[in-house]
Amino acid sequence: MDDVDVAAPGRDGAALSGNQACSDVALDGTLENLRASAIAVDDDGLIVAVNSAAQNLLSREASELVGQDFHDLLHRDRYGHSVPRTRCQIRKALLTGATRHGDAEWFARGDGTLVRLSWLVTPYAPDPSRAGALALLYEAKEPDLHHSDGEPSAPLTDLDRLALLAETTTQLTSTLDSEEALHRLAALTVPRLADWAVFDLLTERDEVRRVLVMEHKDGILVEREDLQGPMPPVPAESPMPLSRALRGAASSLAGPATYQGPPDSGIAVEQQRLFTATGMHSAVIAPIRGLRDVLGALTLGRAQRHGAFTPADLPLLEDLTRRAGLALDNARLYQRQRKVAETMQRHLLPQLPVLPGLEMTARYVPAPDASSVGGDWYDAFALATHAHALVIGDVVGHDLDAAAGMAQVRNMLRAFAWSHSEAAPSAVVTRLDDAVMHIAEVPMATMILARLTLGDDTLWRLRWTNAGHPPPLLITHEGQTRYLNEAHGILLGTGVTRPRPDAVTVLPPQATLLLYTDGLVESPHRSIDHGLDRLRRHAASLAHRPLDSFCDLLLDQVRPSDNDDDVAMIALRTPPPL
């Protein structure tokens, strides 16, 4: 890549203002002076300026780019799917102000095609008061593994084989998603070893499913969904290669002639169809074995290249499928644990009560790199005095231990709040804190307990106490916002005895009240004030959205991409005036 000056001065050397970012960059030619394709973004990851090189490279006009989220609009995986935000290194660099470089990432062009580009992200200030970043894109250079006629440039050497196995191990052990693991293995073997990759997997009920068929066509990998789907059962005695592989027998060679005779099973019929549809003249088939069971089989086939597979290729294929088996075993174990955790979570998180005229909704998002449960929770339940309790809380940790502690705290709180329904929230939380210290296995926790009542004037009133938790946010129908910073006391579990305060406020008609946990606003690379300000600004802009949409968009737009904590939210909206 050519050397470029990534500083972005305006006409007089000052940074560009937020209101002038797009027009001034275009007028001054600041980005136009860069030889690489350049895209400037603000601190929310929104594109504020592009140069003509970027427009040409991405086949998009400036009007199609400016104002859009860089990650959502452009970044894709090799199959054209959106890259999960939590795994996107480009987005992480853009939002954290880090300088990072990456090779061979896929980006969506305006004409619907994908382009593979290398990238460099560096801090850049589109406005003196706001941080931003500059992304430089340039065409990735890839090794020429094949001649133009599709034939391999040379047979794999021992070093090539070792490199392929090492790369396979790295790629497959870095994901716990079985579908992603298969796609990665297909990309490693096609077109390096074959023109086709076919994966047949056994389910837990010993049913067979052709889960993935990948073809190398016109220089890219194409998924052939028309060749995927359920398969007939595995015959017990069939000597055919795929049937033997699915029973765990050794790998073998196959070709169209293998399946030319009368089929001995339904699987043989499907294999005849496969060879006819793909044009494969040579294939190798190997079992995919887990630690205890056969998980499936991998077929690699050649159609475009003339060289046939030989017995010398079988050991490499078996090494690849051995690694695939371990990866699928781990993925399945993770999915089983995740299912158990999700079941537990469903039982831990409550059904919200229905209050006449009042809308209420809640969200829980687990930590991306931990179990699907954690210490964050929300709650809402009726009290004995025609009032309702609202709770948001966070037990230290985001794993099964934290979830168990959270269940203890939640259940004790419900009991105390119900049995002392006339008491102030501060008195209930004081009693809870004492119980946490003596009978609960919880290190520390933060929470807000609020009491919601409907007055004779038809207005809803909120009385609350805050035990070390981020403050509730009140958003009026007109988009005015206020953090309820009153009634802030010490968190639970410290052993320190201090009086806990209460506060009361009237909720205006058509107002939105949001209670949330710190995973929504905290980032390792930003101050909590930055996160609270982002939440306030985005919540104000969404004041007229339906409540479900309001919560979903807040999670999407506000939650930091580099935060690995849980998020719990509970939101309510008051009715319009009578």
Tell me, what amino acid is at 573? R
Asked if residue 561 has pLDDT above 70, the reply is: yes
**In the structure encoding, which two tokens stand for residue 406, read together?**
């959270």
Quick one: pLDDT band at residue 130, thresholds 50, 70, 90?
A: low
Mark which of 110, 139, 168 sits at the end of a domain.
139
Bridge partners for 506 per DSSP: 461
412 and 474 belong to one structural domain: yes
At a CB cut-off of 8 Å and minimum separation 6, what does 106 contact? Answer: 75, 76, 77, 78, 80, 114, 115, 116, 117
59 and 113 belong to one structural domain: yes
Asked if residue 201 has pLDDT above 90, the reply is: yes
pLDDT digits (tens, 9 = 90+) for 132-154: 788 888 875 444 434 434 444 45
At a CB cut-off of 8 Å and minimum separation 6, what does 251 contact? Answer: 245, 284, 285, 286, 287, 314, 317, 318, 321
Min mean pLDDT across 156-165, 447-456, 460-469 is at: 156-165
With respect to residue 5, please indicate whether it lies within any of the assigned structural domains: no
Mark which of 112, 139, 166 sits at the end of a domain.
139
**In the structure encoding, which two tokens stand for residue 17, read together?**
């203002």
332 and 389 belong to one structural domain: no
Contact (CB, 8 A) for 233 and 266 = yes
pLDDT over 70 percentage in the chain = 85
441 and 564 belong to one structural domain: yes
Mark which of 336, 367, 396 sits at the end of a domain.
336
State the total domains in the chain: 3
Q: Provide the 8-state DSSP code for 334.
A: H
With respect to residue 151, please indicate whether it lies within any of the assigned structural domains: no
Min mean pLDDT across 259-273, 314-328, 345-359, 543-557 is at: 345-359
With respect to residue 360, please indicate whether it lies within any of the assigned structural domains: yes
Who has greater pLDDT, 173 or 193?
193
128 and 221 belong to one structural domain: no
What pLDDT shows up at residue 428? 96
* CATH label of the domain that carries residue 555: 3.60.40.10
pTM of the model: 0.52
Q: Tell me the mean pLDDT in the region 539-556.
A: 94
Contact (CB, 8 A) for 515 and 392 = yes
329 and 365 belong to one structural domain: no
110 and 49 belong to one structural domain: yes
Would you call 501 helix, strand, or coil by DSSP?
coil
26 and 131 belong to one structural domain: yes
Who has greater pLDDT, 548 or 385?
548
In order, the DSSP letters of 145-199 are -B-TTS-BSSPPPHHHHHHHHHHHHHHHHT---HHHHHHHHHHHHTTTT-SEEEE
Closest CA to 447 of 507, 389, 399, 495: 389
443 and 476 belong to one structural domain: yes
135 and 166 belong to one structural domain: no
What pLDDT shows up at residue 478? 94
Bridge partners for 282 per DSSP: 302
**In the structure encoding, which two tokens stand for residue 41, read together?**
């973004």
* CATH label of the domain that carries residue 176: 3.30.450.40
Interatomic CA distance for residues 193 and 151, integer angstroms:
10
* CATH label of the domain that carries residue 33: 3.30.450.20
Min mean pLDDT across 151-155, 345-349, 443-447, 546-550 is at: 151-155
Closest CA to 505 of 417, 403, 574, 429: 574
Contact (CB, 8 A) for 512 and 550 = yes
Asked if residue 6 has pLDDT above 80, the reply is: no
Who has greater pLDDT, 35 or 1?
35
Q: Of the ranges 1-15, 241-255, 499-513, which is most confident?
A: 499-513
pLDDT digits (tens, 9 = 90+) for 338-397: 666 666 666 667 788 888 889 999 998 876 655 556 678 899 999 977 899 999 999 876
246 and 174 belong to one structural domain: yes
Q: Which domain holds residue 401?
A: 349-573
With respect to residue 144, please indicate whether it lies within any of the assigned structural domains: no
374 and 459 belong to one structural domain: yes
With respect to residue 10, please indicate whether it lies within any of the assigned structural domains: no
pLDDT over 90 percentage in the chain = 42
What pLDDT shows up at residue 373? 61
